[in-house]
Structure 1
C-alpha cells in the first residue's frame, strides 16, 4: 500500500539541512517597520539583519523613529531610523553598529563605552520580527540554542501574532513535538514525546498546573507573554519531578524603555469579537521605572450549537532599576473565563465507528456552565555583579477557581447500538479551588581557570499546591438515542446530585510540596568542545485526603500519602563545534517522577524511573537569523501508572492504578526556524515518535501514549513582499499528523492535515489590517485526546476566518 509519508529520517534531514542549502544572503534586507519607539525600531533592524547594536539607553529614551519600509542594506535602514533624532550611526570593524550623539568624532571618542547595552542579544522576541530567537532562558542564565545539548523550540511573539495564537493549547499543537490534547474537562493536557507536562514554568519558576480532583481544567492565555520556550526530553534538572517529555517556560512581557501603545480589534466566524489594549513605557524621566498594561476582551460563539465563551484578561507589570546592576520586576495577571461548554464530546458505535453527526451537534444541556478564574502574581529580582556573574530569584503565586456543571452524553455500555440507542446522561458538578506557589533562585557565573573557559550554575527551587475541592456526579440511563438528545433536563446542583438515588459527593484536599537543590558545570577543555555536568537532589511530599458525602452524612476515607527524600537526578551533555555555524551534541539524564495514582490496596505507586538519551546536530546560520536542529532520542521508563480496569472503582470513584512495567519512547525530531531567505520567515518542525509497552502483562507490544501520533509535521511561513507590494505580507502553513488510538486501544482516530493562511496589509505606518483563515479546505476530523467508545470524541474546528486591525500610534 502506498505510504504518503516519506521515511522519517529523510524528512528530518531535509528540514535540518534546508537552511544550509539556501543561497548566500543578499546585502539588502526587506524592512516593513511602522513608526514607533526608536529603541524598538533599532532592535528590530539589528535582529532582522543579524547585527549587534550598542548604545546608551538614555540616548534613545523617549525618541521616535519614522517608518522604515523597503528593501535596503541594514546600515541604510539604521540611518533612516535615526533621521531627526540627533544621533548618528557608527559601524565597527566587526560590522556591528554603534549609536552616538551627532557630534564631531573627537568628542564622540571621549564618551567612552560605559553602560553599553547590546539590544539584540537578549532573549526577548518582541519587536524582532523573527520566528527564532538568538537565546533562551529556560536552562537558567541565557544561552544560544546551539549551546544547549537538548532539543529547544522558541515560539516568538511574531509567530504567535501572525498565527493568531492566544491559547496555550492552540500554540502547543503548532509546535514541534508537542500535543495539546483535550482532557476530560474543559482544559487541556500538555504532552511531549508521549508524556504529560504537568508542571509549567513562568519566567523559569515551575508550578504544578494539571492536578485536579477530577478531570483536566488547565487553561492558559498567551497574551501576557513575550515567548514560549520549549525543551523536549527529560527536564528533571530544571524542575525536579519534571516530565520526561520536556518543559515549557512562559516568559512574560516587560515594561518598555520607550512609550508604546497597540490597540487591536478583531471579528470573525461564529460571532467571534475581541478587543485588546497593550501599552507600556517609562514611568519616570530617567526610565528607571517601566510599566506594562494589557487588557483583552474576547467573546465568541462556536461552530457547536449553544456553545459560547467570554474571557476577560488583565495584566499589569512594573520593572524597577533599583541600581544600575539590580532590577526588580513585579506583575499580576487575571483571567476570567465564563462559558457554556460541551464536555466529553460524542460516544461511538460499539464497533468503533464514529457516529455520523453534524459538527454543530451539541450534547450538553441548556444549563451547562463553566467559570474559570485564574489570578497570578509574579516577582523577580536580578542582581548583576559584573558582566559574568548574576544572581536571580523569582516567585509565582497562582490562585485558581474552577466551578462547573455540565451534562455529558456517553454510552451505557462500551459504545452505542447501531440505531444510536444506549445513551446515558452523566451529570457533573465540580467546585475546585487551588493555590500554587513557586520559588526559584540561582547564581550563574563565567570564569577562566586552568586555561579553560568555565561556567557554573547553582540554585534551588520550591513549589507547593494546596486545594479545597468538591464534586458530585450521577449516571442516568435513558431510552433516548444519540440523534435525539434532551437539552432540557432539570438543572443540577451539588445538593441535588448527592440527594439523587445512588448519588454521592466527594470533598477533597491536595497538599503537594517539592523542593530541590541543583547545579551544573560547563567547561571548555578546548575551544570547540563543551562538557556539561549537572545534578539535582529532590524532596517530594504528597498528601491527598477525601471524604464521601451522601444524604446519610460524610464519611472519611483513608488518606493517601507519599514522600521521597534525597532523590538524585544526574545530567551530562557534550557539545562539539564543527564550525562557527554547526555543532553536534549528546546528552543523558535520569528521571525521577513521583506518581499520585493509587493502587487498589491504597498506597501511592512508587516513582517512575527512567533514562533519557539524545544525540543531534544544531545549526546557527545566517548570523543567527536561522536556527536548525536534528535529534535522535530514546527514553526508557519503568513503573508508569496505568488504570487497573480489573479493580473496582474505589479510587475517587474511578479505577485504581498499577505499575505498567517498562515502556519506551523513541524517535527523530527536526526543526528549522527564522529568516531562511530574504523576506521569508519559516517555522517547520517534524517529529517521528513511537511509544510502546515493552514489558506489561496485558499491553505488551501496544502503544502506551494513545494521543501521540507517529508522524507530526507543523509548518508556518510568512513572506514580506518588496517593491510596489511592500505593504503586503502573506502567511501559509499546515499541521499534519498520522492516526492515534483511543486510550483503551479500541478507537482509531484517523490522521489529518489542516491548512491555514494569512494576508496582512500595512495600510499606513500606524494601521495594519490582517485576515487569518483556518482550516482552509474545511477538513472534518476528530482531535486526539481521551477518545473512547463511550465518549470524549471531539471534532476539530471547521473552516473559519478572523479579521483584525492593529493600530500603533506614534508619540
Structure 2
C-alpha cells in the first residue's frame, strides 16, 4: 500500500478533537508546500489544519500534487492539491474532508474511516520539501537507506536549493565524509575516506569521469539533477574497478505528473548574475508523455582580480509511458563553461610558510582562457512485470572538449625567496577531446520461497573511455618577484610553445574499457534479519599512448597497458532490525584497482586489492521524516606498486616495481538529516578519518591522503517560522575541519571553520525572495588541493552574498 508518513493523519485526528473543524475550515492558514506526491501534500494540509481526511490509498498512489503556496483556507488548499488528479474533495457534515473519484470515475471509497497511507519508497526528492530521502537507487533497484548495509548520504533538491549549491565541488564539501579538492582552474578532485572517486554514476550508470592527460579538469553542474546519492566505502559491486572510497550517483530531473514552471533570477557579490528557467509536466491529456526543459545562464567575476566565469547550460528530457508497465526516458544536457582563472594557486616561501598575498592576487596573464564544453545523452527503459519484478536498462554518452591556454606562477626552486624572487612562469596550452560511453542493465525481483522473503538482482554493465589529447608547455625563470607579476607577457599557442626554448608537446590517447556481470541476493531467514550476498566478475582493458613532440620531430613513448580478466569482487552484508525504526548492520567487500607498473620480468604487476569492513547503526525516525546513521569502518589496501630498488633500472631506464605497498583508512561517520522539529530541516554529518602508509619504502608511517582532514563536521539547518511569521524561513550552518597536508608532506594547511546563512521570504503564493550569505565572518583559509611549496595553494572565497527571486506561477 502506498502511504507517505503513516501517522500524519492520526495526528490530524488528535488535533481535530481539540479544535472546532468549522473554525479551522474558515481560518486562513499559510501553506508553503512544494510540488510533490499527492498523498504527502494531503497529509501535510491535514496535519497543519487539524482536519480528518478519509480516502482509499489506491486513489492517490503515483499521483503528484502541484505546489500549494500562500494564505488560504484548508479547503482551498485541498482543492488546489487535487487539481488535475481526477479526484474531488467532499466536506462531511462534521466539517471533515474526504477524497473520492471525480464523477466519471468508479473507484470505491470508504467514508467515515481515516485510512493510514504507507510511507512512499519513491526515491525522488524534488517537491518533498525535506532533507531526508525516502529511498535511494544507487545500489540498483530502490531501497530505503536502512536496508543498505553501508554508509549512504543523499543530498536532496530541497537542501541544494536552500544552500544555493549549484556544482558538485560545493556539494561534496557540504556532505558527510566527502572532499571536493581543487583541480585545475574550476576543476574538481572528488574523494572519500582518503581515495579519489574518478568514476561517477549518472542515473546509476557508471562512467570514467576524471581522466585527462594533464591535471584534473572535471566540472559538473547540479541544476539538471534531482539529488546526489553518495555511498561511502568500497563500491566494486556497483562499478567494478573504482574508488575504495565510495561512489556518487547523480539522478536527473524528469517531467512530473503536474505542470510546474519556475523562473529564478540571481544577483550577488563580484558582479555575479544568473537566470534560470525550469519547466515541465505532462505533454498530453492522459499524462503518458512528460517533459522537462531547463535553461541556465550564470556569469560572474571573482574575488580574484581579472578572473571571470560564464556558464551556459541547457537540458531537455522526455518520458514516455509506452504501456502502463513500460516507461522510456530520453534526455540531453549541454554545458559550455568559459573562464579566465588562476589555474594553480600560489607558491610558498622555502620551508613551507605561506606568502602574505592579498586574496585578490591574480597570477595569470590577460590572455588566460579556458573553454570546457560537455554534451551528455541519457536514455533508459524500465519494464515492470508486476509489483515485484522489474527490468531496467540505461545508457549514457558524454563528449567533452577542453581547450585552454594559461600562464601560471610557481617557484623556480623549492619555494620563493624571502625578497619574493625565485619566480618561474609556466605556460600551458591544452586541447583535450574525450568520449565516454556506458551501459547498465539489471533485473530486480522479490519473491517468497521456503517461507522466507527474498530478493535477487542480476545485471551487467559496460563502459568505454577514449580520448585524443595534446598539451604543450614551457617553464621560464624570471627576475620578477611574486609581488610584481607580469600579466602582459606575449600570448601563447601550441605551435609557438613547440618552437620556444625548452618547449615540448605531448599528444596522447586513452582507451579504457570495462565490462562486468554482477548479482546480489537478499534473504530474510527470520523477520528482523536480512542477509545480503553479492559478487561481480570484471574484465578491464587499459591503454595509454603518449608522444614527445618538438618543433621538428615526434617520438612515441612506450605504451602503458593493463588487462584484467575475470576479477571477482565479493560482497556480504547483514541487517538486523532492532525495531521498526532502528537497525544494526555489518558488511564486508573487496575492490580491485588495476596498475600499469611493470615488474623486473616485464609483466604488469597484479592489481591493488582492498578489503572494506563496516559496522553501523541506522534509524528512520518520526515516520521517515528523519534519517540517522553511525558507522565504524576500516579499509586495508594491499599490492600497491613500490619501486624495486634491487631489480636494476630495467624499466625504460628506471627502476621496475613490485606489489608490496599497503595503506589503511579507518574511522567513524555519524549523520542526521530531516525534519527534526516542526519546521526545522537539519543536515549534520561528522567524520573522523585517519589514513596511513602501513608498508612503503619511503613513506611508511606517514599520512597517506594529504587532503583528507582527520575531523570534518558539516551542519546546516533551515527553519520555517510559524504564526504571523509563517512567510519567513531562516537558515544557518557551518563547515569545520582540521588541518591537512600538502602533496609533499611538508606544507601544513591549517583547518578552518566557515559559517553560512540564509533568509527567505514568501512575498506571495508565486514569488519567493531569498538571500544567502557565505563565509559570514570572512575567514581567510586555504582549500584542499595538491598544495605544494612551489605552487597550487588556493584561497577559499571571502564573505559574499547572493540574492535570488523565484517565480512559480499558478496553473
Q: TM-score, normalised by structure 2?
A: 0.90
Return closer, same or farther for 1:342/1:254 CA change in 2, 3 Å cut-off. Answer: same
Task: Quote the residue 1:67 is aligned against.
Answer: 69
Does structure 2 conserve the Cα–Cα contact (< 8 Å) formed by 1:392 and 1:442?
yes
Superposition map of 1:463-478 within 5 A: 463-478=463-478
Return closer, same or farther for 1:47/1:623 CA change in 2, 3 Å cut-off. Answer: farther
Comparing 664-673 and 26-35, the one that deviates more: 26-35
Superposition map of 1:254-403 within 5 A: 254-403=254-403
**2:398 & 2:173 partners in 1: Cα distance?**
25
How far 1:102 moved relative to its partner? 5.5
How far 1:602 moved relative to its partner? 8.4
How far 1:785 moved relative to its partner? 1.1
Q: In the alignment, does 2:585 pair up with 1:585?
A: yes
**1:782 & 1:388 partners in 2: Cα distance?**
51
Return closer, same or farther for 1:122/1:31 CA change in 2, 3 Å cut-off. Answer: farther
Task: Quote the residue 2:490 is aligned against.
Answer: 490
**2:757 & 2:195 partners in 1: Cα distance?**
31
Task: Quote the residue 1:623 is aligned against.
Answer: 623
**1:711 & 1:487 partners in 2: Cα distance?**
39
Task: Quote the residue 1:130 is aligned against.
Answer: 130
Does structure 2 conserve the Cα–Cα contact (< 8 Å) formed by 1:49 and 1:625?
no
Superposition map of 1:66-105 within 5 A: 67=69, 78=78, 81-82=81-82, 87-88=87-88, 99-101=99-101
**1:802 & 1:98 partners in 2: Cα distance?**
44
How far 1:55 moved relative to its partner? 5.0
**1:783 & 1:647 partners in 2: Cα distance?**
40
**1:767 & 1:655 partners in 2: Cα distance?**
66
CA offsets, 1:66-112, max 9 Å, x none?
5365999xx99657744898844699xxxxx984226699973499x
Comparing 790-799 and 44-53, the one that deviates more: 44-53
CA offsets, 1:770-790, max 9 Å, x none?
000000000000001100000
How far 1:54 moved relative to its partner? 4.0
Comparing 268-277 and 256-265, the one that deviates more: 256-265
Return closer, same or farther for 1:248/1:167 CA change in 2, 3 Å cut-off. Answer: same
**1:66 & 1:337 partners in 2: Cα distance?**
36
**1:273 & 1:469 partners in 2: Cα distance?**
33
Task: Quote the residue 2:667 is aligned against.
Answer: 667
Residue aligned with 2:161, SS:
helix
CA offsets, 1:160-199, max 9 Å, x none?
0000000000000000000000124541110000000000
CA offsets, 1:9-38, max 9 Å, x none?
xxxxxxxxxxxxxxx99977999655886x
How far 1:655 moved relative to its partner? 12
Gap regions ≥5 residues in structure 2 = 1-9, 17-27, 48-52, 92-96, 112-116
Does structure 1 conserve the Cα–Cα contact (< 8 Å) formed by 2:185 and 2:341?
no
**2:251 & 2:264 partners in 1: Cα distance?**
21
Comparing 180-189 and 324-333, the one that deviates more: 180-189
Task: Quote the residue 1:222 is aligned against.
Answer: 222
**1:323 & 1:311 partners in 2: Cα distance?**
39
Return closer, same or farther for 1:385/1:425 CA change in 2, 3 Å cut-off. Answer: same
Task: Quote the residue 2:800 is aligned against.
Answer: 800
Task: Quote the residue 2:426 is aligned against.
Answer: 426
**2:657 & 2:475 partners in 1: Cα distance?**
23
Does structure 2 conserve the Cα–Cα contact (< 8 Å) formed by 1:68 and 1:81?
no
Does structure 2 conserve the Cα–Cα contact (< 8 Å) formed by 1:305 and 1:361?
yes
How many equivalent pairs are there?
A: 775
How far 1:329 moved relative to its partner? 0.1
**2:733 & 2:649 partners in 1: Cα distance?**
45
**1:551 & 1:600 partners in 2: Cα distance?**
35
Residue aligned with 1:146, SS:
helix
Task: Quote the residue 1:568 is aligned against.
Answer: 568
Superposition map of 1:649-798 within 5 A: 661-798=661-798
How far 1:660 moved relative to its partner? 6.8
Q: Which has the higher contact order (CA 8 A, sep 6+)?
A: 1
Gap regions ≥5 residues in structure 1 = 1-23, 92-96, 112-116
**2:722 & 2:158 partners in 1: Cα distance?**
19
Comparing 304-313 and 28-37, the one that deviates more: 28-37
Residue aligned with 2:108, SS:
helix
How far 1:121 moved relative to its partner? 2.8
Return closer, same or farther for 1:286/1:349 CA change in 2, 3 Å cut-off. Answer: same
Return closer, same or farther for 1:33/1:500 CA change in 2, 3 Å cut-off. Answer: farther
Residue aligned with 1:661, SS:
strand
**2:645 & 2:716 partners in 1: Cα distance?**
42
**1:572 & 1:106 partners in 2: Cα distance?**
48
CA offsets, 1:401-425, max 9 Å, x none?
0001101100011111111111100
**2:33 & 2:778 partners in 1: Cα distance?**
38
How far 1:710 moved relative to its partner? 0.0
Return closer, same or farther for 1:257/1:83 CA change in 2, 3 Å cut-off. Answer: closer
Return closer, same or farther for 1:273/1:569 CA change in 2, 3 Å cut-off. Answer: same
